[in-house]
Amino acid sequence: MTDRSKDRPVHTAAAIDRLLRLRDVSRVVGFSRSKIYKMIRNGQFPAPYKPGGASSRWSEMEIAEWIDGVKAAGDKETGA
């Protein structure tokens, strides 16, 4: 009997990424549209992807990583 599990792709929640609209990003991070774009200009927030036309989309994984970074920076400041 052959172990074929090595040949199968591993699908985990972390391996799946979605592209989010600005309203969804705003809802997740709690910032307004103008605040998000100001932070992008200042290099403080992930830049959007342009899948076509004038639309902008953000990687859900990149936003989650950004949130983790903000939390980690807060922990360093508080000594936690």
Give, as one character, the DSSP assignment of residue 80.
Answer: -
**More confidently predicted of 64 and 12:** 64
| Structural domain contains residue 41 | yes
Range of the structural domain that residue 40 is part of: 18-78
Mean pLDDT on 51-60: 94
CATH assignment of the domain containing 53:
1.10.238
Specify the pTM. Answer: 0.74
Domain count, the chain: 1
Q: What Cα–Cα distance (Å) separates residue 43 from each residue in 20, 23, 31, 38, 46?
A: 19, 20, 16, 9, 8
